[in-house]
Amino acid sequence: MEKRSPVSPLPPGQVIRSDFPRFGVSASAKFDIPQTEHANITIRGDLETFTLRYADLAALERVSVSADFHCVTTWCYPDVGWSGFRFRDVYEHLVKPHLPAQMTPSIMAFKGLDRYKSSLLLEDALADNVLIADQLDGAALSAQHGAPLRLVAPAHYGYKNVKHLTSIELWRDVPSYRSFMPHIMEHPRARIAYEERGRYLPGWIFRYLYRPLVGRTVRKMNP
Ligand SMILES: Nc1nc2c(c(=O)[nH]1)N[C@H]1C(S)=C(S)[C@@H](COP(=O)(O)O)O[C@H]1N2
Ligand SMILES: [Mo]
């Protein structure tokens, strides 16, 4: 396997892997992956529901981001080359015109075709390097890594990087996270730099809770 170097200094508690495994919680979910040109994303929440089509995204500037990928369970795969469209551009050009007057969302839920769900604060999603990506290392996203479209938010743990993105809910108020957190331990921000691995407990404790699960999950997800 090729040797890659991290783009950024390794954050606390992370260990470099030599491969980029498919990882997640939905090994057995069955769903159809549309061709990228036919991909669309439903936008709903505190606004009238509408659909973003791939052609709408493709009209935006294409941008590339190289970043290390960090799973909360402590593995890291260095220097992943993503390409796609800045979430900020999507928001400014394609979503904002649909917002009711005085409605500024504070939090969003991102959902995948496999029903996986995660949340991100709008202020975090507007960062320069947050993408709706359709390419990885120069090729169309594979089914393993989130085809046809996935969220890429490199400052946040992998669990915020929703694959097979199919809908985004925008909400004005931060709710009690009831409907947002697919997992009771999901941290609302999950910033890698601050080791915000989960809620209720200090980040470093999760290293020891999650590390033993890595091998088994990788084998299950990559038969
Ligand atoms: N739709 C979907 N997105 C997901 C997941 C998932 O199971 N389903 N798992 C998350 C987790 S925990 C991680 S670490 C990354 C893994 O991305 P990869 O499979 O491309 O390595 O995807 C995240 N996004
Ligand atoms: Mo993860």
The closest-lying atom of ligand 1 relative to the alpha carbon of residue 111 is 1
pLDDT band of residue 3 (cuts 50, 70, 90) is confident
pLDDT at 121: 94
The pLDDT assigned to 28 comes to: 78
Averaged pLDDT, 72-100: 98
Rounded to an integer, the average pLDDT of 130-137 is 98
Q: What is the mean pLDDT of the chain?
A: 93
Question: Where are the extended beta strands (E) located within the chain?
Answer: 15-16, 40-45, 50-53, 62-70, 75-86, 107-112, 117-121, 131-136, 139-140, 150-152, 165-171
CA 97 vs. chain centroid, Å, equals 24
Residue from 43, 39, 42 nearest 134 by CA: 39
Q: Is 22 in the pocket of ligand 1 (CB under 6 A)?
A: yes
In angstroms, what CA-CA distances link 53 with 16, 114, 122, 222? Answer: 36, 19, 21, 30
- For 89, the enclosing helix (H) or strand (E) is helix 87-89
Q: Which atom of ligand 1 is nearest to the CA of 146?
A: 20
CATH code assigned to 15-215: 3.90.420.10
Q: Which ligand is nearest to the CA of 77?
A: 1
Residues of the chain above pLDDT 90, percent: 87
Q: Is pLDDT at 48 greater than 90 in this prediction?
A: yes
- The pLDDT assigned to 1 comes to 57
Q: Of how many residues is the chain composed?
A: 223
114 Cβ closer than 6 Å to some ligand 1 atom: yes
DSSP per residue, 143-197: TTTTSS-EEE-TTB-GGGS-SSEEEEEEESS---STTT-SSTT--SS-BGGGT--
Q: Is there an atom of ligand 1 within 6 Å of 124 CB?
A: no
Residue 189: both structure tokens together:
């921000």
For residue 24, report the distance from its CA to the centre of ligand 1, in Å.
4
Pocket test for ligand 1, best of 149, 163, 219 (most atoms within 8 A of CB): 163
| Tokens (6 digits) for 210 | 């999650």
Does 193 score more than 70 pLDDT? yes
DSSP 199: S
pLDDT band at 14 (very low <50, low <70, confident <90, very high): very high
For residue 112, pLDDT beyond 70: yes
220 Cβ below 6 A of ligand 1: no
- 97, exposed or middle or buried, with CB in 10 Å at 0-12, 13-18, 19+? exposed
Distance 149 CA to ligand 1 centre (A): 12
Closest ligand 1 atom, residue 151 Cα: 24
Confirm or reject: Cβ of 185 under 6 Å from ligand 1.
no
What mean pLDDT comes out for the span 143-157?
Answer: 98
The pair of structure tokens assigned to 70 is 């960090």
Is the pLDDT reported for residue 177 higher than 70?
no
Residue 141 has pLDDT above 90, yes or no: yes
Judge if the beta carbon of residue 76 lies within 6 A of ligand 1.
no
Q: Tokens 């084998």 appear where?
A: 219
- Does any ligand 1 atom lie closer than 6 A to the CB of residue 25? yes
Burial of 191 (0-12, 13-18, 19+ CB in 10 A): middle
Which residue minimizes the CA distance to atom 10 of ligand 1? Answer: 159
| Minimal-distance CA residue to ligand 1 atom 12 | 159
CB atoms within 10 A of CB 117: 18
Q: Give the model's pLDDT for residue 25.
A: 84
Kindly state if the Cβ of 14 falls inside 6 Å of ligand 1: no
